[in-house]
Structure 1
Amino acid sequence: MAGDDFKVKKTESEWRDQLTPEQYYVCRQKGTERPGTGEYDQFFRDGKYHCIACGEQLFNSDNKFDAGCGWPSFDAPAVAENITENQDTSHGMIRTEVVCSNCGAHLGHLFPDGPTATGMRYCINSVAIDFHSEED
């Protein structure tokens, strides 16, 4: 999905003003937080995970599992249309990048090695998502 296809359109200056430096690095520059450092890696409460950049719902706690990889992992998105998958050939690898379909924020990567029936592991950076509890 090209940048012009996203509903939320902001200049890089506007993104820098909205996001923390780490959120900007991950979401806009396709960076990665260090494994085991993210707020949601070992976080298991009932609720929904939204894009930190635009608020779009991305994942549900029902689909979260502990992959032991150092990042929050999900076996499916909450709404398939809210996630866009792109081929990523950076760093000498071929991977599937996961971005928010609404704003284009880089979220993480998708791997076909999940332990659940879907066989998928959406490996997501904590700084790219925001948790909303069921009580909210």
Structure 2
Amino acid sequence: MGETMTLKVNKTKEEWRQVLTPEQFRITREHGTERAFSSPDFDLSKKGTYRCICCERPLYRSEAKYNSGTGWPSFYQPIEPGAVTDHSDHSYGMTRTEIRCADCDAHLGHVFPDGPQPTGLRYCMNGVALSFDED
């Protein structure tokens, strides 16, 4: 798939609060994390596209989703280069790589180097930060 060029989505915190649930706001705008195994149940057998809950940008395809056993939806690659951005995260006394939506900077989760091939990466996402469009 080709890289999509879009404009940045800029909203105030109050504007985000008006369109997101309190939990979606806490996770995506305040860099929160949902409890393991508490996210919406995204059936692995369904084919489709996972989108940013804040701006609806396509982020991941179901073909890249796998059961990591961690309690969070996991993918081995984004839908296309540039769909997500990575940022250094030094919270909680750890060094991790935070993943955000490239269009609206929503906090989505983190990426780790312990995923399956072909990338060896595990994009560990907060399920509440995603919506799903079935094919």
Q: Shorter-chain TM-score: what band?
A: over 0.9
Q: SS in structure 2 opposite 1:48?
A: strand
Indicate the residue corresponding to 1:65 in structure 2: 66
What amino acid is aligned across from residue 87 of structure 1 in structure 2? S
What amino acid is aligned across from residue 121 of structure 1 in structure 2? R
CA RMSD of aligned residues (A): 1.0
Indicate the residue corresponding to 1:119 in structure 2: 120
Matched, 1:43 2:67: no
Q: Which runs of 5 or more residues in structure 1 are unaligned? A: 1-5
Q: SS in structure 1 opposite 2:82?
A: helix
How far did 1:99 drift? 0.1
Q: SS in structure 1 opposite 2:111?
A: strand
Indicate the residue corresponding to 2:3 in structure 1: none
- The equivalences for 1:1-136 within 5 A come to 7-40=8-41, 43-44=43-44, 45-134=46-135
How far did 1:82 drift? 1.2
What amino acid is aligned across from residue 12 of structure 1 in structure 2? K
How far did 1:79 drift? 1.4
Quote the sequence identity (%): 48
How far did 1:80 drift? 1.8
Output the CA distance in 1 between the equivalents of 2:16 and 2:98: 20
Q: SS in structure 1 opposite 2:108?
A: strand
Indicate the residue corresponding to 2:4 in structure 1: none
Greater share of residues in helix: 1
Q: SS in structure 2 opposite 1:26?
A: helix
Q: Which runs of 5 or more residues in structure 2 are unaligned? A: 1-6
What amino acid is aligned across from residue 62 of structure 1 in structure 2? E
TM-score by length of 2: 0.92
Output the CA distance in 2 between the equivalents of 1:72 and 1:94: 21
How far did 1:72 drift? 0.2
**Following superposition, which runs of at least 4 residues in structure 1 exceed 3 angstroms of deviation?**
none
What amino acid is aligned across from residue 117 of structure 2 in structure 1? T
How far did 1:86 drift? 0.3
Output the CA distance in 2 between the equivalents of 1:75 and 1:29: 25
